[in-house]
């Protein structure tokens, strides 16, 4: 298979796992402790993202590039661009979400959360596609499984956000499933890049890592502002996922 086709396979895994999460959302939302369950699930996803950044996306690239100033700068630039992508999206949607929220009588924070969940899937999809197309299977599989676990959580949370907007369950699930296409698009872009140059692998992975890292920081900051504590057990379970998978598939 070509690099582009392999990247699309990686993107499909992300798309499919987001859809699985969307389908599980009604079960999560029907529980009496749905708010607490959602909070714990989000903390698990935060742990997985941080683990992916450290052990698969950004960390290994920086270590491997430490012998070359040029390569190190490219990896670092990829991480900065990924982080900047999420920050620009956040700023863009902060203003628009306020006007939309006042018009639709919705919570601005919920609208912003839904927007970020959808659009930060693009650099995540780039990471999924680049890893499948450019890494060995033993190195790519732990990351794919970690991203899939994270996407299941995010797919469910996004569907719950849509329900909170007053959408029907059917419309909410469909909207969450469709959001996975953003990740597939990111994977396709990574595949095109790797078809032209395999040297883009580390910067592409770093861009996904930078985007995830900023997403984690923003989410933890949001929880601090709302005086919520990170659920320790789910967070550390997510944090341990990628090293565990790396050990199993080594």
Q: What is the pLDDT of residue 170?
A: 94
CB atoms within 10 A of CB 76: 17
d(CA 124, CA 58): 12
Task: Give the CA angle between residues 233, 160, 154 to the nearest 5°.
Answer: 50
pLDDT per residue over 197-233, tens digit each? 888 899 999 999 999 899 888 888 877 777 677 788 8
DSSP 8-state symbol, 200? G
Computed over its alpha carbons, how large is the radius of gyration of the chain? Answer: 17
Contact 11, 188 (CB under 8 A): yes
For 50-94, what is each residue's pLDDT tens digit?
999 998 899 898 898 888 889 899 999 999 999 998 888 877 777
**Domain extent for 92:** 3-248
Helix residue ranges, H only, the chain: 3-30, 34-52, 59-64, 69-104, 108-119, 121-134, 137-164, 169-196, 201-225, 232-248
Overall number of domains in the chain: 1
pLDDT digits (tens, 9 = 90+) for 122-143: 888 999 999 999 998 888 999 9
Three-point CA angle 49, 54, 56, nearest 5°: 85
Distance CA 81, CA 41 (A): 28
Contact 11, 124 (CB under 8 A): no
Q: Residue 113 is encoded by which pair of tokens? A: 């959360």
Q: Nearest CA to 52 among 149, 171, 169, 191?
A: 149
Q: Which residues have C-beta within 8 Å of that of residue 229, sequence separation ≥ 6?
A: 223
Highest mean pLDDT among 1-10, 113-122, 192-201: 1-10
Q: Mean pLDDT for the chain?
A: 85
Global pTM value: 0.84
Reported as a pLDDT band with limits 50, 70 and 90, residue 240 is very high
How sure is the predictor about 38, in pLDDT bands with cuts at 50, 70 and 90?
confident
DSSP 105: T
Environment class of residue 102 by beta-carbon count within 10 Å: exposed (0-12), middle (13-18) or buried (19+)? exposed
Q: Is residue 146 over pLDDT 60?
A: yes
Q: Decide if pLDDT at 104 tops 70.
A: no
> For residues 99, 113, 18 and 47, what is the CA-based torsion angle, rounded to 10 degrees?
170
Rounded Cα–Cα distance for residues 188 and 25 (Å): 27
3-state secondary structure of 197: coil
With cut-offs at 50, 70 and 90, classify the pLDDT of residue 117. Answer: confident
Q: Which pLDDT does position 85 carry in this prediction?
A: 87
The band of 98, judged by pLDDT with boundaries at 50, 70 and 90, is: low
């Amino acid at each position: 298979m070509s690099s582009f086709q392999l990247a699309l396979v990686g993107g499909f895994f992300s798309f499919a796992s987001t859809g699985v999460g969307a389908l599980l959302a009604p079960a999560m939302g029907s529980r009496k402790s749905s708010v607490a369950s959602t909070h714990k699930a989000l903390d698990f996803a935060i742990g997985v993202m941080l683990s992916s950044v450290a052990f698969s996306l950004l960390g290994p690239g920086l270590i491997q590039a430490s012998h070359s100033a040029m390569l190190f700068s490219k990896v670092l630039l990829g991480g900065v661009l990924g982080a900047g992508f999420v920050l620009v999206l956040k700023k863009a949607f902060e203003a628009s979400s306020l006007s939309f929220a006042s018009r639709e009588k919705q919570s601005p924070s919920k609208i912003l959360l839904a927007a970020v969940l959808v659009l930060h899937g693009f650099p995540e999809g780039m990471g999924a596609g680049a890893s499948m197309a450019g890494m060995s299977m033993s190195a790519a599989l732990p990351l794919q499984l970690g991203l899939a676990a994270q996407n299941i959580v995010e797919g469910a949370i996004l569907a719950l956000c849509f329900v909170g907007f007053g959408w029907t369950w059917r419309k909410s699930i469909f909207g969450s499933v469709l959001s996975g296409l953003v990740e597939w698009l990111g994977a396709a872009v990574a595949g095109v890049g790797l078809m032209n140059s395999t040297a883009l692998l580390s910067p592409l992975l770093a861009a996904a890592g930078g985007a995830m890292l900023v997403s984690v920081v923003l989410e933890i900051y949001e929880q601090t502002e709302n005086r919520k504590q990170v659920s320790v057990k789910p967070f550390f379970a997510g944090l341990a996922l990628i090293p565990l998978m790396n050990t199993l598939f080594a």
